[in-house]
Structure 1
Amino acid sequence: MRRLFITLLAANALSVTGTMLSMLAVPWFVLESTGSAALTGLAAFSTTFPIVVSAAFGGTLVDRLGLRGTSLLSDLASGLVVLAMPVLSWTTGLSYPALLGLLFVRWLLATPGETARKAMVPELAGLGRVRIERAVAAYDGVYRGAAMVGAPLAGVLIVWLGASALLVVDGVTFLLSALLIGGGVPRSEGAAGRGQGGYLSDLRDGLTFLWRDRLQMSATTMIVVVNMLDTGVTQVLLALYARDVAHDPRAFGLLAGAVGAGALAGTVVYGAAGDRLPRRLTFGACFLVAGVPRVLILALGAPFPIALGVTVLSGVAAGAINPILGVLQYDRIPARLRARVIGTMTAAAYAGMPFGGLLAGPLTEVAGLTATLYAFTAVYLLASIPPFADRAWRELDRDGPARVKRRWTGSAGGTP
């Protein structure tokens, strides 16, 4: 039965690889066809905003439609929409407004599939007798590995094939993912609880559950803040450090890539040893190390090799964060609410990201790079306090999940 879990990992790897191909192919395609940086930026917005909308409101539909069916339909529809872009470009022509519309629909459709696959993890891991810590680490590791492979692969394929052909490859990856889920996961293993009330009632149940769970609300708030900061660091502050301190544009790419490489290694380490570590202290320490040192070392103006080494170590610490959060979600969220609660948390995590660059850019103009880096370091530090100071986080190490779930044994359409 472990084959079911491996099938899920393979399908998600294909889907994530396609996403990374699309993230590079689309801006290049827009630049090639319009030559406008402003229009390229607008296209980027059309790929992020629908993720927030779909994650917030699509999770309830995932719970009602079923996990396997949602993943299958999401990948099929996403693949066909992506394939429509190059086909239209090669035949009747693809106008810019039509491209924006297709991008919006593509990401609106793709997000429920990601939510559904993530919600399948505990059941399929249990059938394969894979410990939940290792299962979540494997899922996150495959995601990170596919993202790392997908980005450089996209660059190579753009040179070899062009952006339009790369979009064809992107569409095919989604269709292959759908084929794996459709043929490798039985219907009974992708089931989800259907709400007995209406859509708005089910949506309210998910929001209410998250609001009443202090631990998960605290974790979600931490992620919202740190994702916003990470976006500002990656999009603005690293580029300025590379230009003004390291005096080498290659430093930008190396520092950005070092976080991903370290995180992949950290995910592997947590998958091997995470079930023997105290969750709360591990999460708190890793969250602190993942943010503060790599920004502080830049504020101190350290030589680039030292900054790169510290960034790798911070990435290793970051690799344990998502697996622990995944275990937290699977332990505490009842299966029938899982997709809608995870969707809400995902939407919140994405919602703050666009503001990171808006915060970092003007602040740097006013206060300078060093002062901005120190300010970001201070906020990273403040965001890392809850696991050490908030009593709710003690539940991460004791048997609180059953108590939480017992409060939600009523009908899906009712109020707890």
Structure 2
Amino acid sequence: MTTKRNDRAPLATVLAANAISISGNSLTLIAVPWFALETTGSPGKAGLVAFCAALPVILSAIVGGPVIDRIGRRRVSIASDLVCALALAAIPLLNHAGVLRFWMLCALMAVTGLFHAPGETARNVLTPDLAERAGTPLSRATSFYDAVSRGARMTGAALAGLLVAFLGADTVLYIDAATFAVSALLVLIGLRGVPSAEPARGAPPLSLAVYRADLREGYSFMLRTRLLLGVNLMVMITNGLAQSWSSVLLPVHAREELGGSAALGLLVAVFGGCALAGALLYAAVGHRFPRRPVLAVGFLLCGAPVYVTAAVTDTTPPLLVVMALGGLGAGVLNPILGAVFYEIVPEGLRSRVGSASTASVLLTTPLGGLAAGYLVERVGITTTLLSLAGVYFLTTLCPLVFPSWRAMDAPHAAPAVGKAEVEVEVESEGEGKGDGEGGVSRTEPSTPVPVPGSGGTTPRR
């Protein structure tokens, strides 16, 4: 089937669906920790809720890659959003009925985590095909993708702080459920007839042997590609630290020192707004600069400084300034890492390698909130913040220390599946110079996940 050129509607659909979904995600990131703190009064239990939301994301990412292409990326995205909508709506419904127990909250958040990763991966790996279909350079499409996500996160966070303050956390969860439903509807309508969104043709039936072979192929590709492996290991650590910040440390700090959820929403919104500006700035001029130093500076800005500032101040303005600078740094991360991923990974392997990458970069997120809640209750929030700041700083030195990261600045196109192993080994050795945008280009805190951004994007929780 011939691809229709300059058809921007499918790409616009994915951007819009992610904008709506991530706006709701910002509501969840503020409403659920706040709901847990209000109903339990315990930072440790708030961390346990975060653990229950994050662990199933990893499990589904580990095993989900081979299934996505056979079921179809469009179908997986729709089903994922609908299940998450039902799970989130059930929390306030059960609470209003007076039957919600803490274990039920943990279980429902686990359901959202279990179904989130396959849907997020399904949408992410469509970006190269939809960009080509729209006639848009892929490096620019990934920057727009991240910019839209950042803008949605900023808007959602600003609304979340106010909505939680005036309507209550449980009401905000209804709104979040509605965003999932709208995202599913957009994908249902807007991606109909897009070949890359439909089930793969000509693939052998999914037997246990075929499934294991497909799963092994995705993980094997990731493990033998030194640059991709190095990126995933670094982001795995920073994602765990970011989870501790967003799910426990910042909500506790805002409640105890900054006056409540309105300050929390303002801080997250400023970070998101500046990250949006950073992503747009990188889309405009980023190709002129080598990727590795830009990435290193971005990580250094968005990591340790916010922890240190929160540890030494009990007022909002200083933290607001540091989070604004951190947001600018964070804005360049996903466009760079996304472009590197798409340059390295051939199209036929993107769902499988994307799922493997998602699983690897999210391995520490269940422990992030759990460990932060435990440490806050044992040693206090100040000591916890300073300790994690030191770990974050050392981790973000990786791009400047390890030689394999130099391959990030070498222009290359994604290899064909049959030639993947040979060509990737050459890439890993290369230290070529270029403008950082050659070939084909293509995630969360706040962090780059899952290819590597949840979205992520940051993983949706």
Indicate yes or no: 2:127 matched with 1:115: no
From 259, 270, 289, the counterpart of 2:271? 259
> Is the 1:15–1:174 contact (alpha carbons within 8 Å) kept by the matching residues of 2?
yes
> Is the 1:137–1:270 contact (alpha carbons within 8 Å) kept by the matching residues of 2?
yes
What is the CA-CA distance between 1:387 and the residue it aligns to?
A: 2.6
C-alpha root-mean-square deviation of aligned residues, in Å?
Answer: 3.9
From 100, 103, 109, the counterpart of 2:109? 103
For 2:270 and 2:231, locate their aligned partners in 1 and report how far apart those are by CA, in whole Å.
25
From 324, 331, 334, the counterpart of 1:319? 331
Deviation sequence 1:347-369 (CA, Å, 0-9, x none):
33222234446269749977994
Indicate yes or no: 2:347 matched with 1:340: no
For 1:295 and 1:26, locate their aligned partners in 2 and report how far apart those are by CA, in whole Å.
22
1:177 corresponds in structure 2 to 183
Q: 1:163-202 maps to which residues of 2 (within 5 A)?
A: 163-185=169-191, 186-191=193-198, 193=200, 196=204, 198-202=210-214
From 11, 17, 25, the counterpart of 2:23? 17
Change (3 A) 1:242 1:15: closer
Q: 1:143-292 maps to which residues of 2 (within 5 A)?
A: 143-158=149-164, 163-185=169-191, 186-191=193-198, 193=200, 196=204, 198-232=210-244, 253=264, 258-292=270-304
TM-score (norm 2): 0.74
Change (3 A) 1:84 1:220: same
For 1:151 and 1:239, locate their aligned partners in 2 and report how far apart those are by CA, in whole Å.
13
> Is the 1:192–1:335 contact (alpha carbons within 8 Å) kept by the matching residues of 2?
no
1:413 corresponds in structure 2 to none
Deviation sequence 1:96-155 (CA, Å, 0-9, x none):
555543332233123211111111111111111222222112111222222222233234
For 2:311 and 2:46, locate their aligned partners in 1 and report how far apart those are by CA, in whole Å.
32
2:147 corresponds in structure 1 to 141
For 1:236 and 1:42, locate their aligned partners in 2 and report how far apart those are by CA, in whole Å.
10
Q: Specify the code of the residue in structure 1 equivalent to 2:409.
A: D
TM-score (norm 1): 0.81
2:439 corresponds in structure 1 to none
1:69 corresponds in structure 2 to 75
2:395 corresponds in structure 1 to 383
SS of 2:136 mapped into structure 1: coil
SS of 1:130 mapped into structure 2: coil
For 1:352 and 1:346, locate their aligned partners in 2 and report how far apart those are by CA, in whole Å.
11
Indicate yes or no: 2:57 matched with 1:45: no
Per mean C-alpha deviation after superposition, the further-off stretch among 307-316 and 84-93 is: 84-93
1:351 corresponds in structure 2 to 363
Query: 5+ unaligned residues in a row in structure 2: which ranges?
Result: 1-6, 423-461
For 1:187 and 1:41, locate their aligned partners in 2 and report how far apart those are by CA, in whole Å.
41
What is the CA-CA distance between 1:289 and the residue it aligns to?
A: 3.4
Identity of aligned residues (%): 37
Deviation sequence 1:145-180 (CA, Å, 0-9, x none):
222222332344456655554433333222221111
For 2:131 and 2:194, locate their aligned partners in 1 and report how far apart those are by CA, in whole Å.
16
For 2:349 and 2:94, locate their aligned partners in 1 and report how far apart those are by CA, in whole Å.
40
> Is the 2:33–2:247 contact (alpha carbons within 8 Å) kept by the matching residues of 1?
no
Deviation sequence 1:309-358 (CA, Å, 0-9, x none):
34422321121011111111111112222123222222332222344462
Give the aligned length: 406
What is the CA-CA distance between 1:267 and the residue it aligns to?
A: 1.2
Change (3 A) 1:346 1:273: same
Change (3 A) 1:198 1:8: same
Deviation sequence 1:277-320 (CA, Å, 0-9, x none):
22223223322333355556678889975664344223211210
Per mean C-alpha deviation after superposition, the further-off stretch among 104-113 and 218-227 is: 104-113
Q: Specify the code of the residue in structure 2 equivalent to 1:72.
A: I
